[in-house]
Copies of this chain bind each other. A is one copy, B any other.
């Protein structure tokens, strides 16, 4: 099995009998994207069934008539009334019809057919009608132009090496993988734009970017770039990047014209400004709106989007300061600007207020901003969730985030509703994931981490899918239809986030990791540091008081969320220490004390890992050897390393509290 194809490996597999009768594909009603869709479909059927259908577009007009009846054919047909990217699959007298209103609809429809095929479903009587729920479904790569990847755990970049842009076979496979799960935009370079990457918007890189963007374009994907806010200065052309300066405004107008002309399939730009040392409008006493709008005006004539990150906080905090609350900073920085952004600006908001911890509450800007385009940013790069050495299937977490009711409206008020554009009737919105890919053969380091890439795309397209359904799909498409493989891998994936959370920092407090690396336990790792990430544990208790007696963060939510979080009795257990400083002896809603919860979850988390590994080992011989070996190596590491988590956390709290484990298990 070719793992460089991930879930698009079209090896022969047993499928429902009628697929073997597919002999033709009619797909002459669209443009380049539809052509690529049809070609993909042909390759999939040929590979899986061993019988290559005729692509009628490839035949001269005269020969097409001779092909006989439509039964056993797949027909692409224009159908009115579907949203962009929507499709309608149905059977008509033995023919399988893909109806769509546009090119992207045919593309996603074709990939839906491939999915059905791989899952072994029959197409007899099929009736599927789907439209993408979120308008923008994007990946954000944090790839540097020297080939390294910030927070990359799957090898080096396949976009860049030694300050050059790579365009090759992998670019195509990448585009196919993205399109197959409905992703329609990708940012290829790190949001921390430095050095060579600042020059991506210059003549130096246009040719290669154009080539790359054309490949992406064939699969319905817009290319985006991360932008250096200080580019006018760093490119040596101006002394200022003041967004209200006429000179700066003109510079960007000229630059945008040039860039969009030279890279026709460019979607726009992602910007991290005034954050963690990055330049931004604050330097000139201007607001984020001033900065974003200036760029937006310049990009507007070309339909370009300006995606502006809300990850702005004081990263030089004093740990002795109990008043400043990093969790508040995104909200405090942006809430006053609601309604002041141009229509082609989108604020990109992380799922939680801190930074991709294993458990965080939903970002309070969701539901607070009412007149601003919004995107949800999640991270499938497992920066804080095991770095693709531990297995951690994140779709269940994303489902919880999307399902969170903000109470910004009486109905249709979930995060999903907001970023789908439903709540505030927006079209420039959606979901982005920090990518987990690299040039490793299997794309994602841990073979099981590919489920996050797969699941993210599918979820953004179709958020009603359950985490379990997406996991099942991915397993069957990747490893074939074997009940035992399915059951075991499903057990592993569906328990993995829970297990990781169990042996990690307890009850929503987060951050108990080694600084910089963000891997491995270190309870006090960020406790006395400048990053605003504290647990405040002492001999009596632990947690950050974010209630109205504390930093007031809980009050940033709309009611009834604000009151729910504000009180330790109604705050959900899993977030208790995020919102409250509690004694170790406090009884949780679960009936356990905080300290006993810590001990129990840490012992049980490791037991759960042991069970995963044991069950995984039972699959030996049923999985492709190379892939199995890669996973086993990681599982053995996880087994050992989860013990390190368990023992360090338990020991730390036992030594601090002096309260023994009720069950008398070994603590050091």
Give chain A's interface residues, CB within 8 Å of chain B.
319-320, 521-524, 528, 537-540, 644, 647-648, 651-652, 654-658, 668
Contact = CB atoms under 8 A, between A and B. Distances in A.
A512 to B, nearest CB: 11
Residue from the set A521, A539, A652 with the largest chain B CB neighbour count within 10 Å = A539
Contact of A539 (B319, B523, B647, B656): B656
A658 B320 contact: no
Contact of A319 (B528, B654, B657, B668): B668
- The 9 A-B pairs of least Cβ separation, nearest first, read A538-B655, A539-B658, A320-B668, A524-B524, A528-B648, A539-B539, A656-B656, A539-B656, A320-B647
Nearest to A515: B514
Contacts of A655: 537-539, 656
Contacts of A658: 538-540
Given A524-B522, A524-B524, A528-B521, A654 B320 contact: no
A504 to B, nearest CB: 15
Given A522-B528, A523-B524, A524-B524, 7 more contacts: A320-B668, A538-B656, A538-B658, A539-B655, A539-B658, A540-B658, A656-B656
Nearest to A655: B538
Given A320-B647, A647-B320, A668-B319, A657 B539 contact: yes
A64 to B, nearest CB: 67
Nearest to A529: B522
Which secondary structure characterizes the binding site on chain A? Answer: loop
A37 to B, nearest CB: 51
A644 B318 CA distance: 10
Residue from the set A522, A540, A647 with the largest chain B CB neighbour count within 10 Å = A522
Contacts of A524: 522-524, 652
Contacts of A538: 654-656, 658
A319 to B, nearest CB: 7
A542 to B, nearest CB: 10
A606 to B, nearest CB: 14
Contacts of A320: 647, 668
Contacts of A540: 658
Contacts of A522: 524, 528
A199 to B, nearest CB: 27
Nearest to A648: B528
A524 B657 CA distance: 16
25 contacts: A319-B668, A320-B647, A320-B668, A521-B528, A522-B524, A522-B528, A523-B524, A524-B524, A524-B652, A528-B644, A528-B648, A528-B651, A537-B655, A538-B654, A538-B655, A538-B656, A538-B658, A539-B539, A539-B655, A539-B656, A539-B657, A539-B658, A540-B658, A655-B656, A656-B656
Contacts of A648: 528
Contacts of A528: 521-522, 644, 648, 651
Contacts of A652: 524
A651 B523 CA distance: 15
A620 B656 CA distance: 48
A168 to B, nearest CB: 33
A615 to B, nearest CB: 27
A370 to B, nearest CB: 39
A540 B660 CA distance: 13
A176 B552 CA distance: 65
A652 B668 CA distance: 19
A284 to B, nearest CB: 30
Contacts of A537: 655
A652 to B, nearest CB: 8
